[in-house]
């Protein structure tokens, strides 16, 4: 599995802003940061401590309205070899990121020493009903599916068409709370990346739907159009 190595917070912020289209820079709609974090071997205690310190300071910054964490219990196409936690943070806009990241850069770098990134992106909502990060998969037992995918070159149209057909089928299944699609607007290694999320009422409901997916023609067509970067199934945590 490809690992991202951490670079300077300032440099990363500049890369995000430079690579973002001008029309997105001008928008004031919420931005969501998604960090899929793999805990380094033997550093779980350090990870927990550094995470608490970093998130406490992050949540105190102006323009940060939500921060959530989810613990992955399953991944595709193969299980993760280490513990994986998914952090999501909501910002009012991209404009505030440079100041926030300068304020907490040192704390972030301490946190970074305890993990590797499986994926790291900034996104904006593209499709789906109202997205409320504060309530995402919050009820006990609910399962969050997050799919960070790299679309095969030359198959962008096929991906979009097959994705919509699959999501329409998925949303009609019993036990699906909702599905959302996001546009990637920043991060590392973002070329061709797309992000989708779905929430299931329970692990049992998720497993029942997953069984149907294995023989679903729409699913086979959809899955053939991309490579998974981070396809995680997770529960909400009370961690900070």
Banded model confidence at residue 45, pLDDT cuts 50, 70, 90:
very high
Q: Which 8-state DSSP code applies to residue 239?
A: -
Least confident stretch, 28-32, 47-51, 144-148, 211-215: 28-32
- Asked if 205 contacts 51 with a C-beta cutoff of 8 angstroms, the reply is no
pLDDT greater than 50 at residue 224: yes
Asked if the model's pLDDT at residue 238 lies above 60, the reply is: yes
CA–CA separation, 18 and 12 (whole Å): 10
Please answer whether residues 197 and 179 qualify as being in contact, where contact means their C-beta atoms are separated by less than 8 angstroms: yes
| Long-range contact set of residues 17-25: C-beta below 8 Å, sequence gap at least 24 | 17/94, 17/97, 17/98, 17/186, 19/186, 19/190, 20/94, 20/185, 20/186, 21/185, 24/94, 24/124, 24/185, 25/94, 25/95
Check: pTM over 0.85? Answer yes or no. yes
Domain ranges of the chain: 9-236
CATH topology of domain 9-236: Alpha-Beta Plaits (3.30.70)
Cβ atoms of 58 and 67 within 8 Å: the answer is yes
């Amino acid at each position: 599995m490809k690992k991202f190595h951490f670079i300077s917070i300032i440099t990363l912020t500049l890369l995000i802003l430079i690579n973002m289209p001008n029309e997105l820079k001008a928008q004031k709609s919420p931005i969501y940061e998604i960090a899929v974090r793999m805990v380094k071997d033997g550093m779980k205690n350090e990870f927990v401590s550094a995470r608490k310190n970093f998130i406490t300071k992050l949540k105190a910054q102006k323009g940060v309205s939500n921060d959530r964490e989810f613990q992955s219990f399953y991944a595709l196409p193969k299980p993760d070899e280490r513990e994986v936690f998914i952090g999501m943070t909501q910002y009012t806009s991209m404009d505030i990121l440079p100041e926030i990241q300068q304020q907490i850069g040192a704390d972030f770098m301490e946190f970074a020493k305890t993990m590797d990134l499986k994926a790291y992106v900034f996104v904006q909502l593209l499709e789906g009903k109202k997205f409320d990060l504060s309530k995402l998969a919050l009820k006990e037992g609910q399962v969050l599916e997050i799919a960070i995918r790299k679309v095969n070159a030359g198959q962008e149209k096929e991906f979009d068409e097959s994705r919509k057909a699959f999501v329409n089928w998925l949303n009609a299944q019993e036990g699906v709370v909702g599905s959302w699609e996001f546009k990637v607007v920043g991060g590392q290694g973002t070329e061709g990346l797309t992000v989708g999320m779905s929430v299931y009422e329970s692990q049992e409901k998720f497993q029942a739907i997953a069984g149907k997916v294995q023989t679903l023609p729409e699913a086979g067509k959809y899955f053939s159009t991309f490579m998974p970067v981070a396809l995680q199934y997770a529960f909400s945590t009370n961690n900070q």
